[in-house]
């Protein structure tokens, strides 16, 4: 005849087995295999369906040029291009981008030549600590192909989603205007 201690042991063991099975089931559900094209190269990887594109780019693809500032869509530090359009990557899930073309700052140069915006940022000393710079450059590179008025104010408006805690704004605008003139 089983004692009450035996019954308690049985209940605990059953609960532990059920817990392990549930954890395994959840782990299987939250992982998805996706395929992206990143900086011109096809990559396949398993991602957590809850992972942002920013976290996948930095932590799984080890592309640390794209920065995490606020992680809330407010600073623009995480800006990259998806299918040619600028996007704040902290606000989009990686799993939503099956087959998409992702461009990060590491992929901006062509055949060893800096992108005109990168070159202009250097020439106009458009950064101080540099934390916002990759996001600024990716936004500015996209801006070259967007409708935007000619004035500095138009550029400021188009770049208003990219914050710079160092206040390098005058030089950033000068760099972008210089790149636009050369574009
Ligand atoms: S980290 Fe994405 S907008 Fe700030
Ligand atoms: S250069 Fe430091 S935050 Fe912009």
Note the pLDDT tens digit of each residue in 97-154. Answer: 999 999 999 999 998 999 999 999 999 999 999 999 999 999 999 999 999 999 999 9
From 51, 64, 78, 87, give the residue whose CB has the most ligand 1 atoms within 8 Å, as the site to mutate: 78
Kindly give the pairing relationship between strand 41-48 and strand 85-88.
unpaired
Tokens of 162: 């990219």
Q: What average pLDDT does range 68-93 have in this prediction?
A: 98
Angle, CA 132 vertex, CA 110 and CA 128 arms, to 5°: 95
Q: What is the pLDDT of residues 46-69, one digit of tens each?
A: 999 999 999 999 999 999 999 999
What pTM was estimated for this model as a whole? 0.86
Q: In whole angstroms, what is the distance from residue 74 CA to residue 135 CA? A: 12
Tell me the CA–centroid distance for residue 136 and ligand 2, in Å. 9
Mean pLDDT of the chain: 94
C-alpha 54 – ligand 1 centre gap (Å): 9
The ligand that comes nearest to the alpha carbon of residue 79 is 1
Q: At what angle do helices 169-182 and 133-143 cross, to 10 degrees?
A: 40
Nearest CA to ligand 1 atom 3: 73
Distance (angstroms) between ligand 1 centre and the Cα of 77 equals 5
CA distance 133 to 128: 9
Q: Which ligand is nearest to the CA of 90?
A: 1
| Neighbouring-strand partners of residue 47 | 32
Q: Which ligand is nearest to the CA of 69?
A: 1
What's the CA-to-centroid distance between 137 and ligand 2, angstroms?
Answer: 12
């Amino acid at each position: 005849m089983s004692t009450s201690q035996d019954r308690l042991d049985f209940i605990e063991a059953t609960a532990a087995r059920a817990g392990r099975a549930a954890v395994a089931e959840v782990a299987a559900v939250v992982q998805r295999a996706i395929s992206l094209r990143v900086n011109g190269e096809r990559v396949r990887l398993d991602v957590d369906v809850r992972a942002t594109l920013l976290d996948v780019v930095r932590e799984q693809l080890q592309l640390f040029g794209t920065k995490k500032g606020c992680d809330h869509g407010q600073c623009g530090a995480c800006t990259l291009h998806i299918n040619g359009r600028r996007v704040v990557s902290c606000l989009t899930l990686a799993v939503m981008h099956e087959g998409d073309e992702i461009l990060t700052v590491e992929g901006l140069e062509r055949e060893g030549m800096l992108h005109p915006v990168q070159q202009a940022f250097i020439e106009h000393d458009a950064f101080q600590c540099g934390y916002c710079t990759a996001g600024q450059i990716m936004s500015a590179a996209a801006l070259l192909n967007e409708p935007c008025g000619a004035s500095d104010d138009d550029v400021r408006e188009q770049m208003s989603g990219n914050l710079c805690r160092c206040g390098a704004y005058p030089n950033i605008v000068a760099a972008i205007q210089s790149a636009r003139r050369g574009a």
